[in-house]
Structure 1
Amino acid sequence: MYMTQGLHRSVQQNPDAPSTVFGDRTRTFAETADRVARLAGALQRYEVARGDRVAILALNSDRYSELFLAIPWSDAVFVPVNVRWSSAEIIYSLNECGARVLFVDENFASFVPGLRAECPQLTTVIHCGEGQAPEDMLDYEDLIASAAPVPDARRGGDAPAGIYYTGGTTGTPKGVMLSHDNLAASAMGSAATGDFVDPGGRFLHAAPMFHLADGAAWCAQTVVGGTHVMVSSFSPAAVLEAISAEGVTSTLLVPTMIGMLVGHPGAHEYDTSSVRHIVYGASPMSESVLDKAMALFPNAGFTQAYGMTELSPVATLLLSEDHHHPVRRTSAGRAAPHAEVRIVDAFDEEVPRGTVGEVVSRGDHVMLGYWNRPEATEDAVRDGWMHTGDGGYMDDDGYVYIVDRIKDMIVTGGENVYSVEVEKALAQHPAVQSCAVIGLPDETYGERVHAVVVPTAPGAVSEAELREFCRERIAGYKTPRTVEFRDALPMSGAGKILKRELRRSTAPA
């Protein structure tokens, strides 16, 4: 398959149906196809050739969606840039992948002089935001208006479609090369469950479009011929207003976003009855937040997706019916239709059911490799199996339970403690809004279990209360020896808690 295939199908079958909705701007499939063909022509006019990398530094918009189509239409490779990165991190990624062209909106135009100075291969910068383009940049709409449409390259299969940089939670970001087939396999496998997107439905892009979680949803929605609705960035009010106004049927959110939605004053005053599917992932969601979300979206089924960028990104899915099961709802689900999943030991041998090992996955969704890092690729993908670095176990019915990042396992007094188990216990307390558990050096025990908690209100709960609460639910050696309260947890652009940052900012005493 190839990235633009769904657009061609929609133009053939529903040319006048809405393709994108962004604010007051709605464009049909026919309009989108014409604009994409012209934009691809403009890229080729500026000597973008097969395999060239074209970067995007922008918030969500209908133009972002057009770029996901126009760049492969021109036979180039898109590189979505993390909008939460510093200039230094952006410069690193642009130089490493050799991006020659950058699309930037008004929110990041001020970065451009510094990027030009530090990225000598960056020859063309195109302003894709609202308003007039700065003098040192080309204007997106002017390019479309002046360019002639060109034929679609239609080069799919194993050809690279995009390079997604990992969030850098474990060090220097790596460029994950994903092919057209990688992205199509993950999208179609997820869509095949019926719990992801609906043909002709309306998908709300509220999570950042630079991240592959939302990118995978974009692929699935494009394949089934639905409408893309965008808000520039997440806010509870913007999301609820878009759902109510546009009749949104599906969306993807991280648990922190869902928690903000259910806690938004007046949330139940919005009409959310159109929503049929809510996909979430990146981190576990507490059962209390899940119950509140089910009440806020009474007609929606909830699906948890587990995976990673290297898996395009879906490996397992916890479908809507499983969310009503008292045990399975705490799992990450079972292997998605396009994936094979195993739990293996240090010798890559499958372990017995119920035994903790490393989660590995195999299938057409496994990445092509890391950009310019063959050794890292060989270490991660062995005999076709992507090694996730996540520790987990599988039950007799194939449900996978994630217990921790293997490197994050805490060894205290000779006992193994998985932070997820402690976090689940803490999250059951009504005064805990969010939490993270890490291991800190300890002279007596080697490591001690340390909890960082964001309370629902200042002073809503004490350290002693939380320790006693946990002791009633988990073993004593798993109970946090120390508890720290904060206003917020450090988060990546994908909504993952940055435990590396927590360790750096937490005193070891």
Structure 2
Amino acid sequence: MGYFWEGHICQCLSRISSFRRDSPVTIFGNRRKTGKQFVESVIGLAQGLLEIGLRKGDVVAIAAMNSDLYLEWLLAVAYVGAIAAPLNYRWSFDEARVAIEVVTPVMLVVDESCSFWSLELQNTNLDFLRWHAFLENLSSLHSNTGNVLHTETLKKPSQISELLDYAWAPEGVALICFTSGTTGRPKGVTITHTALIVQSLAKIAIVGYNEDDVYLHTAPLCHIGGISSGMAMLMVGACHILIPKFEAKSALKAIEQHHVSSLITVPAMMADMVSNISLNQEKKGWKGGEHVKKILNGGGGLSIALINKAATIFPCAKLLSAYGMTETCSSLTFMILYNPSGKKLDESFQKICGNKSSVINKPGGVCVGKPAPHVELQIHGDGSSLIGRILTRGTHVMLRYWDQSPTAVSKFEEGWLDTGDIGWIDDYGAVWLIGRLNGRIKSGGENVYPEEVEAVLRQHPGVSSAVVVGLPDSRLTEMVAACIQIKEEWKWNNQVTGHLLEREDIKLSSDILLLHCKQRNLSRFKIPKIFILWRKPFPLTTTGKLRRDEVRRQVMAHLQVFPSHL
């Protein structure tokens, strides 16, 4: 039975084959494919998968860096009604095996970066894994079995005129995308064709993606952000520039070489690009940023300082931010940060970040913009406060976690998905994010959300980053502690109080930060009792998310030995 009343992500192939028939659709190194060549490659691969016996509902795991072939596999798997399950190429073999045992794929597709997974799994008793495939023909690899395939040998000669009827997996599932859980093992999120399509349409409407875009894939295709923006670009028929993975130097080179007009970032990516340009600006002027028209940032907020720096290297780019999660097929809300037409911070964003007049006598937090047109949000609280859990529902929401039945998903409440975030909605419909429910600190009977405190600390000109954790305390239950990274030109001096310091513009201490928190009207119970100078990078997951549990563990292990720094 087909899901004819729903969308299918392979519907984009019709537009690509006609609108970009003789124009480049994918560029990967020296390999270029026109719309005609790309569509014929996808259809040829789909025919090959059908011939070897891949069927509706079968799961195909893909572990590889970004490439044009990766895009072809995502679409070809969906075309035959199977389900793609992208795995993170940065995972260890043990992490990959856990994920594979969750989704039980019939096929594993890898590139050279993950080829050892395939070789090890061939010696492992996994009865469900019938085929191993390589994106490229890797002659240097030897197999112990005869069921190893390659993309080009799988493909069957095909013409656009010979398009097959695409099929749907049961329940219209298109994708199993793993969360990057900061604790515990990652979960496979079940995402439908319709969810991917409505998310794409939202990005097209709000960000302004169109057929003239030249889109650089900076985010990995194993992450929902990279998949959803890539899918939006496939739907409009844009040109895709693919690099194996993000590195500031290679990304900037690609932007300049291919006149890239659109890309997505996370704060670390933007900081790396800004830093790289700053280091090399004196040697050689860089003009590539003049072609960039749209940048969508996710995975955390950009500071005003970083926004202003980004505007100098991408002077014609509209800069937006998005808030979302894997379980909601990427973005829930959007906000314009910088408007190139006025050569300034967007007025609404400036108002929010400046005088905060719209939130006088209201809860704090970080504004993450307004919901996308297809997104329904609700704040679920106790009725006595504006603050509560952020719930959402709609076609963008996952069906469930892959290895759970719908009735077992505790995240759902009467059709609403609990995002796990705490926040509120102001009078203008903008969402304010306070923190994660599972990161909440219980101090003296009061709830403290680390993200709210961190946002205040980062407003100090000497603080480059901050992580707030709760430490066990006999009186308060948990004590608020702040780990501080300071900017390069600043000095840490905890031996004297703030008002005695000379050159306060370059020195920091616990007392100075304490005063800073008070001046920003942070409630007394939220102000950290301990400030720790953190001299090394904060621990992150493979997808760049903070390992707050690991920060807490390290603080507890070292605090007595190194009371003022780590």
The secondary structure found in structure 2 opposite 1:241 is: helix
Whole-angstrom CA distance in 2 between matches of 1:499 and 1:71: 36
Checking the alignment, whether the CA contact within 8 Å between 1:158 and 1:180 is kept in structure 2 is no
Residue identity opposite 2:376 in structure 1: E
**Residue 455 of structure 1 corresponds to which residue in structure 2?**
486
Change (3 A) 1:163 1:306: same
Whole-angstrom CA distance in 1 between matches of 2:296 and 2:424: 23
Checking the alignment, whether the CA contact within 8 Å between 2:83 and 2:169 is kept in structure 1 is no
Residue identity opposite 1:127 in structure 2: F
Change (3 A) 1:196 1:167: farther
**Residue 505 of structure 2 corresponds to which residue in structure 1?**
none
Change (3 A) 1:142 1:416: same
Higher Rg: 2
1:130-149 CA distance string (max 9 Å, x none): 75362324222232267998
Change (3 A) 1:131 1:116: closer
**Residue in structure 2 matching 1:481, options 503, 508, 529:** 529
**Residue in structure 2 matching 1:416, options 434, 447, 460:** 447
1:315-365 CA distance string (max 9 Å, x none): 11113568443343541111101111111126xxxx58x711011111110
**Residue in structure 2 matching 1:496, options 523, 545, 548:** 545
1:484-503 CA distance string (max 9 Å, x none): 40321222343321212222
Change (3 A) 1:376 1:506: farther
Residue identity opposite 2:517 in structure 1: C
Checking the alignment, whether the CA contact within 8 Å between 2:441 and 2:470 is kept in structure 1 is yes
Residue identity opposite 1:185 in structure 2: V
Whole-angstrom CA distance in 2 between matches of 1:239 and 1:294: 17
Whole-angstrom CA distance in 1 between matches of 2:403 and 2:231: 26
Q: Does 1:326 align with 2:359?
A: no
**Residue 78 of structure 1 corresponds to which residue in structure 2?**
84
**Residue 228 of structure 2 corresponds to which residue in structure 1?**
216
**Residue in structure 2 matching 1:126, options 133, 146, 160:** 133
**Residue in structure 2 matching 1:176, options 189, 197, 201:** 189
Checking the alignment, whether the CA contact within 8 Å between 2:399 and 2:406 is kept in structure 1 is no
* Alignment gaps of 5+ in structure 2: 1-6, 340-344, 354-365, 493-507, 560-566
Whole-angstrom CA distance in 1 between matches of 2:210 and 2:544: 25
Write the mapping of 1:42-53 to structure 2, written as runs, cut at 5 A.
42-53=48-59
**Residue 435 of structure 2 corresponds to which residue in structure 1?**
404
Write the mapping of 1:429-444 to structure 2, written as runs, cut at 5 A.
429-444=460-475
Checking the alignment, whether the CA contact within 8 Å between 2:195 and 2:329 is kept in structure 1 is yes
Greater CA drift, 105-114 or 27-36: 105-114
Write the mapping of 1:131-280 to structure 2, written as runs, cut at 5 A.
131-132=138-139, 134-136=141-143, 137-144=148-155, 151-155=164-168, 158-193=171-206, 195-264=207-276, 265-266=279-280, 269-280=286-297
**Residue 111 of structure 1 corresponds to which residue in structure 2?**
117
Whole-angstrom CA distance in 2 between matches of 1:479 and 1:287: 23
Checking the alignment, whether the CA contact within 8 Å between 1:452 and 1:486 is kept in structure 2 is no
TM-score by length of 1: 0.92
Checking the alignment, whether the CA contact within 8 Å between 2:378 and 2:390 is kept in structure 1 is yes
Checking the alignment, whether the CA contact within 8 Å between 1:357 and 1:393 is kept in structure 2 is yes
Residue identity opposite 2:258 in structure 1: E
**Residue 289 of structure 1 corresponds to which residue in structure 2?**
306
Residue identity opposite 2:436 in structure 1: R
Whole-angstrom CA distance in 2 between matches of 1:355 and 1:21: 49
Checking the alignment, whether the CA contact within 8 Å between 1:61 and 1:232 is kept in structure 2 is yes
Checking the alignment, whether the CA contact within 8 Å between 1:4 and 1:72 is kept in structure 2 is yes
Aligned residues: CA RMSD: 2.4
Q: Does 1:472 align with 2:484?
A: no
The secondary structure found in structure 2 opposite 1:361 is: strand
1:242-284 CA distance string (max 9 Å, x none): 1111111111111111111112222662420111111111222
Checking the alignment, whether the CA contact within 8 Å between 1:340 and 1:361 is kept in structure 2 is yes
The secondary structure found in structure 2 opposite 1:282 is: coil
Whole-angstrom CA distance in 2 between matches of 1:419 and 1:376: 32
**Residue 306 of structure 1 corresponds to which residue in structure 2?**
323
TM-score by length of 2: 0.83
Q: Does 1:342 align with 2:391?
A: no
Checking the alignment, whether the CA contact within 8 Å between 2:218 and 2:243 is kept in structure 1 is yes
Greater CA drift, 150-159 or 305-314: 150-159
Whole-angstrom CA distance in 2 between matches of 1:385 and 1:200: 37
Q: Does 1:367 align with 2:398?
A: yes
Q: CA deviation at 1:404?
A: 0.4
Whole-angstrom CA distance in 1 between matches of 2:406 and 2:156: 45
Whole-angstrom CA distance in 2 between matches of 1:460 and 1:358: 39
The secondary structure found in structure 1 opposite 2:112 is: coil
Residue identity opposite 1:120 in structure 2: D
Q: CA deviation at 1:51?
A: 0.8
Checking the alignment, whether the CA contact within 8 Å between 2:256 and 2:288 is kept in structure 1 is yes
* Alignment gaps of 5+ in structure 1: none
Whole-angstrom CA distance in 2 between matches of 1:384 and 1:13: 39
Change (3 A) 1:289 1:157: farther
Whole-angstrom CA distance in 1 between matches of 2:18 and 2:238: 14
The sequence identity of aligned pairs, in percent, is 31
Whole-angstrom CA distance in 2 between matches of 1:234 and 1:372: 31
Change (3 A) 1:481 1:263: farther
Q: CA deviation at 1:294?
A: 2.0
The secondary structure found in structure 2 opposite 1:108 is: helix
Whole-angstrom CA distance in 2 between matches of 1:491 and 1:46: 40
Checking the alignment, whether the CA contact within 8 Å between 2:62 and 2:110 is kept in structure 1 is yes
Q: CA deviation at 1:504?
A: 3.0
Checking the alignment, whether the CA contact within 8 Å between 1:185 and 1:364 is kept in structure 2 is yes
Residue identity opposite 1:278 in structure 2: I
The secondary structure found in structure 2 opposite 1:223 is: helix
Change (3 A) 1:411 1:25: same
The secondary structure found in structure 1 opposite 2:290 is: coil
Whole-angstrom CA distance in 2 between matches of 1:415 and 1:199: 51
Whole-angstrom CA distance in 2 between matches of 1:376 and 1:83: 32
Change (3 A) 1:233 1:466: farther
Checking the alignment, whether the CA contact within 8 Å between 1:57 and 1:103 is kept in structure 2 is yes
The secondary structure found in structure 2 opposite 1:332 is: strand
